[in-house]
Amino acid sequence: MRERVRNIMVGVCTIGALGAGGALLFLFGEIEPMLAKRWQLKVAFNEAGGLRRGSLVTLNGVPVGAIEQVEFWADPTQPVLVIAAIEDSVRIPEPSTASVQASLLGSGARLELTATLPLATPARTYPRDRETLLRGRVQSIEGSVLRQLDERIGPLMASFTEIAKLAKNLNSLVEPTPDGQTPNPESLRGAMRKLNDTLTSADAALKIAQEWMNDEQLRTDIRDAAHGASDLMRDATLSANRIGALADSLAADAASLRASALPVLDRAGGTLQELEQVLIAVRSGKGTMGRLMQDPALYEGLSDAAKRLDDALIKLNLLLDKIRAEGLGVEFLSN
């Protein structure tokens, strides 16, 4: 083969190889970042966490860019500075948190931006025309796993602590009482002992009750008492009925008594009114009684005349007795 033909074939193969390589780069997204317009977002971490140039940047799991540079900078607590190239059409909501998500299979890490939900209305985004710096903290896979395990095992450990306290309390309740010490009233052993004593007492009471139930004389007495109680209840019912009838009779008699007593009371009221008028007349000095009460001399004169008349009547009676004694007929003068 002539040299000219060979050079042409080499050139064609080289051009084909370059075209195939470019196609592969385009298919894997390696050429598009070079052509697309992007803006920078800086994130400070305590460590790189597996990030390197070209690592993927995601926003809530959606790819939005790539890492341009990972470097140290002068910060005492977060000395690793990651510069991310974000696509020009993407806006990062404010506020958002930055973290590093590493793969368990070791295929690389990615910068995860997580927007705080729910998003603000109207939407707020980080500015693209000036430098924007976010701060995050990288946690290793082991630390993340341990943290999640602590979150899930924490309640279980708290339950184990409560179980330990319960076991301790149960031990204090069931442990035997040392010799010479007063038994704990709350001890389970003491409670069981009291329960056994109570059951023994109940068993004895049941035996006594059984003996009573087997006593024929006692059953006869109980039947007689029940029969007597029945008679007593019947007599009480009859007495109650009689008392009710008596109450009804008293109510009727009271009505008749009231009907007969009202006229008498009316007449007594009239008599009292007349007596009141007489007393008023006496106090006012009208009539004979009024004059007697108003004139003491008249009263004394009448009293003296009454005494003299009484003396005259006594002497006259003596004279009549003497005449009768002498046998004279003086029947018309007798009393």
pLDDT at 59: 92
pLDDT at 319: 72
Whether this prediction's pTM lies above 0.85 is answered by: no
Task: Reply yes or no on whether the pLDDT at 334 is more than 50.
Answer: no
Q: Which residues contact 248 (CB under 8 A, 6 or more apart)?
A: none
Model pLDDT for residues 145-198, shown as the tens digit of each residue: 777 777 778 787 888 788 887 777 766 666 666 666 666 655 666 666 777 778
pLDDT at 333: 43
List the domain boundaries for the chain.
Answer: 1-35, 38-139, 141-175+186-204, 295-325
Enter the tokens of residue 264.
Answer: 């008498």
Task: Reply yes or no on whether the pLDDT at 229 is more than 60.
Answer: yes
Separation CA 174–CA 26 (nearest Å): 78
The answer to whether 8 and 76 are in contact (CB under 8 A) is no
In this structure, the strands spanning 109-115 and 133-135 are unpaired
Q: Which of 99, 87, 33 is nearest to 60 (CA)?
A: 99
Banded model confidence at residue 291, pLDDT cuts 50, 70, 90: low
Residue with tokens 């007594």: 268
Separation CA 134–CA 332 (nearest Å): 162
Burial 160-191 (b: 16+ CB within 10 A, else e): eeeeeeeeeeeeeeeeeeeeeeeeeeebeeee
Model pLDDT for residues 25-61, shown as the tens digit of each residue: 777 766 666 666 888 999 999 888 888 888 899 999 8
Model pLDDT for residues 56-114, shown as the tens digit of each residue: 999 998 999 889 999 999 888 999 999 999 888 889 998 899 988 876 665 578 899 99
